[in-house]
């Protein structure tokens, strides 16, 4: 009998695709991708491992290919074997063609005067001029507390393309595409521009409009590690994001 998808397989975890090599899930905000520090709380990984074991007596757990922060929701990919994991991770930049996010950032995006974030401009409500799109090209490093931040020297290259979807009520709804995949890249880049993700206390956000980090992994597209077929998985952003504006 064919699996009916999407299917809830645990609190905050929905299975949206599965074949013999890969699994795609929609991870809810507040759910860890994998355990940290030997903790016993349920994670996307542990729930998926239990699901596979119960369904087919499978002894080999799924393999983590990439991660989302605990408070970031959206689409995640897992491998079902070590071979598939290695193929994906060793060839990530070649196989993955798109990683798109949606977020609500604090402040209404003005025209940028610098900082590597320039792009096309347009008119907003009340005659205000806004950037419509651009590229944030800022290297990232770590501060003394281990937090990833934008740095002028000694960091790793990091590039985030963004598009303004709407600006209103002191917030900006953004679509973002990763050109590099550094840890906390979007959060660090937006904070460096003075527009932290709403609800992101780690990166100095001053508001928390829906009691969660307003960042969502909306889409991932990649070539299947076995046959090269282009796979697209998309999970729309929570409606609450748009309601903030």
| Active site amino acids | 69
The CATH classification of domain 1-90, taken from the options 3.30.2350.10, 3.40.630.30, 3.40.50.2020, 3.40.50.2300: 3.30.2350.10
Locus of tokens 């071979």: 83
- 108 and 128 Cβ atoms separated by less than 8 Å: yes
Judged against a pLDDT cut of 60, whether residue 221 lies above it is answered with yes
pLDDT tens column, 91-128: 999 999 999 999 999 998 764 434 455 555 554 445 55
Superfamily of domain 99-216: Pseudouridine synthase (3.30.2350.10)
Fold agreement between 1-90 and 99-216: yes
Mean pLDDT of the chain: 89
* Residue extents of the structural domains in the chain: 1-90, 99-216
pLDDT tens column, 141-178: 999 999 999 998 889 999 999 999 999 999 999 999 99
- 95 and 88 Cβ atoms separated by less than 8 Å: yes
pLDDT score recorded for residue 111: 45
Taking the mean position of all CA atoms in its chain, how far away is CA 239? 17
For the chain, the straight-line distance linking the first and the last C-alpha, in angstroms and rounded, comes to 44
- 113 and 126 Cβ atoms separated by less than 8 Å: no
């Amino acid at each position: 009998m064919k699996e009916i998808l999407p299917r809830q397989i645990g609190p905050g975890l929905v299975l949206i695709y599965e074949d013999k090599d890969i699994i795609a899930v929609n991870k809810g905000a507040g759910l860890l991708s994998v355990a940290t520090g030997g903790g016993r709380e349920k994670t996307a990984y542990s729930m998926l491992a239990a699901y596979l074991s119960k369904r087919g007596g499978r002894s080999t757990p799924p393999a983590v290919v990439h991660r989302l922060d605990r408070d970031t929701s959206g689409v995640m990919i897992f491998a079902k074997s070590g071979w598939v994991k290695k193929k994906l991770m060793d060839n990530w930049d070649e196989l993955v063609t798109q990683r798109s996010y949606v977020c609500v950032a604090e402040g209404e995006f003005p025209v940028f005067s610098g900082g590597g974030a320039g792009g096309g401009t347009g008119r907003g409500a009340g005659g205000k001029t806004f950037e419509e799109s651009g590229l944030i090209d800022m290297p990232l490093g770590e501060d003394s507390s281990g937090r990833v931040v934008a740095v002028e020297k000694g960091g790793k290259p990091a590039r985030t393309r963004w598009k303004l979807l709407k600006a209103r009520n002191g917030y900006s709804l953004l679509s973002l595409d990763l050109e590099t995949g550094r840890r906390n890249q979007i959060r660090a880049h937006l904070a460096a521009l003075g527009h932290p993700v709403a609800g992101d206390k780690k990166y100095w956000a001053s508001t928390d409009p829906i009691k969660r980090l307003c960042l969502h992994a909306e889409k991932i597209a990649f070539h299947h590690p076995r046959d090269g077929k282009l796979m697209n998985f998309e999970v729309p952003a929570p409606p609450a994001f748009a309601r903030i504006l």
